[in-house]
Amino acid sequence: MSPNTPSPRLVPEPTQTGTSLPLWTYASEELLELEYQEFFLKSWQLVGHVCDLPSPGDFLTFDLWRDSVIVLRGKDRVLRAFSNICRHRASRLLDGRGNCGGAIQCAYHGWSFRNDGTLSGIPKPENFPGVDKSELGLLEVRMEIYRGHIFVNLSEEGPRVREMMGPIDDQVAVYAPEGYEPMDDPVAEIWECNWKLAWDNYQENYHIPIGHPSLHRLLVETGEGLTLDNGINTGIFVLRDKPSSVARERRYQELMPSTDHRYPEGKRRRWLQISMNPNMGIEYYPDMFSMMQILPLGTARTQIKMIHHSPPNPSAEEREMQAIEVALLDEVNAQDKILVERIQRGVQSSGYKPGPLALEESGIHDFHNLVRERLPVTRLPEAPMRGSLAQENARLKSQAPTKR
């Protein structure tokens, strides 16, 4: 445990309904700027798995609004993360994923960086008298590998992933994610909504019976989920015994015993869903892994990114399950996109006051409380005067007690 980092603690179940953030917070560019600084630049973001980068020179990039990170395996086989910026005049270096061989060459003037990040070559070096190449390597970004998953963090703040996951690590260990294999490339889509609405939606299962009939036919929540005081919570679902009325779902149910050999008695046929503030849903299914990541692009424009991985050596039955699972998840995402974009239209209209949050929506309440704590300006019922939001937030922060 890092010095001064308190251990994550369990939060008791809520007994009272909560209140949502005021509507203006979903449409303020000035607030989005603070949210980016306060939440996205200070949080761990899952970018992939070690199995995605097996060979020296393999890289992937992760774009987070204005920022971009490269994760790269060096000749020494070590994985490192760097800012995706050339040290000469800041050109973006790499896009997507691939293999850069022994070096990355900038497309602008041709500076070259070895796959361990050090600067190897400058064209026409006589142009740079007195410049020390050893000081101009790529800028390293904080990176952590947790059970095979690669996380990056653009700040130096906060505890390590394994500390944050501590109380739920045994739940994750059941799925042995260290051994995962690549399944397909990440996919991304655009939702026309504020990022917080997409995250609100992810954090509550109150909408499942109406919004996602397929999930409702297949699964039931066990009530064994945990809520931690560090913004992480889990839900555990089991497959219903009753055969679904839909053939594809019945087939998934029939195939489920083919995954039993992977899990101990009592841990089979379960789905573990982890919400990780401010923007990631991490889901372990018996047949595959899936992550949903919510990345702001503007006040009403959000990228939804999905990553899948497979347990090792999936059988033909498990591959068939994965195909059904991916189709189900695509369908659920398409439903969520419609639902969330309809909320976006609601929060843009005048005269509406937020209604109460259900006990089943306590994840939203906890998240909104976190926003109120870290950005106290969001406690104001109306937006501050244009141009004054950051200043007003700083003023309120200096008055507010630091703990929720």
Compute the least distance from the CB of residue 101 to ligand FES, in Å: 18
Q: Which does 336 bind (CB under 5 to 8 A by kind): Fe ion, ligand FES, none?
A: Fe ion
| Segment contacting ligand FES by CB under 6 A, of 84-92, 164-172, 265-273, 330-338 | 84-92
| Segment contacting Fe ion by CB under 5 A, of 21-29, 128-136, 297-305, 330-338 | 330-338
Please pick, from the candidates 35, 116, 287, 336, the single residue that binds Fe ion as defined by CB under 5 A: 336
> Which residue has 């899952």 as its token pair?
46
- Indicate whether 125 belongs to the interface with ligand FES (CB under 6 A): no
Buried residues in 22-50 as b, exposed as e (16+ CB within 10 A)? bbebbebebbbebbbebbbbbbbbbbbbb
Residues in contact with Fe ion, counted by CB under 5 A, come to a total of 1
- Indicate whether 119 belongs to the interface with ligand FES (CB under 6 A): no
Nearest to 270 by CA among 338, 171, 343: 171
- Indicate whether 361 belongs to the interface with Fe ion (CB under 5 A): no
| Segment contacting ligand FES by CB under 6 A, of 103-111, 128-136, 224-232, 326-334 | 103-111
- Indicate whether 335 belongs to the interface with ligand FES (CB under 6 A): no
Please pick, from the candidates 75, 77, 89, 242, the single residue that binds ligand FES as defined by CB under 6 A: 89
User: Is 103:114 a contact under the CB 8 Å cutoff?
Assistant: yes
Compute the least distance from the CB of residue 127 to ligand FES, in Å: 11
* CB closer to Fe ion out of 336 and 366: 336
Residue 61 CA: distances (Å) to CA of 53, 84, 186, 320: 11, 8, 11, 30
Q: Report DSSP state, residue 85.
A: B
- Indicate whether 113 belongs to the interface with ligand FES (CB under 6 A): no
Residue 23 CA: distances (Å) to CA of 20, 59, 209, 335, 381: 9, 40, 26, 23, 8
Q: Which does 257 bind (CB under 5 to 8 A by kind): ligand FES, Fe ion, none?
A: none
Nearest to 204 by CA among 164, 238, 235, 228: 235
CA distance 169 to 263: 15
Determine whether 153 is exposed, middle or buried from the number of CB atoms within 10 Å of its CB (0-12, 13-18, 19+). Answer: buried
CA distance 377 to 20: 14
Q: Which residues contact 395 (CB under 8 A, 6 or more apart)?
A: none
Compute the least distance from the CB of residue 61 to ligand FES, in Å: 16
* CB closer to ligand FES out of 2 and 127: 127
Residue 156 CA: distances (Å) to CA of 43, 124, 136, 145: 10, 36, 20, 16
Please pick, from the candidates 21, 31, 86, 329, the single residue that binds ligand FES as defined by CB under 6 A: 86
Compute the least distance from the CB of residue 103 to ligand FES, in Å: 13
CA distance 336 to 48: 24
Q: Which does 251 bind (CB under 5 to 8 A by kind): Fe ion, ligand FES, none?
A: none
- Indicate whether 106 belongs to the interface with ligand FES (CB under 6 A): yes
Please pick, from the candidates 111, 199, 202, 237, the single residue that binds ligand FES as defined by CB under 6 A: 111
| Segment contacting ligand FES by CB under 6 A, of 101-109, 207-215, 260-268, 365-373 | 101-109
Please pick, from the candidates 19, 68, 91, 120, the single residue that binds ligand FES as defined by CB under 6 A: 91
Nearest 10 degrees: CA dihedral of 332, 333, 338, 339? 70
User: Is 267:284 a contact under the CB 8 Å cutoff?
Assistant: no
Joined tokens for residue 286: 């018996």
* CB closer to ligand FES out of 128 and 352: 128
Can you give the binding site for ligand FES, defined by CB under 6 A?
86, 88-89, 91, 106, 108-111
Can you give the binding site for Fe ion, defined by CB under 5 A?
336
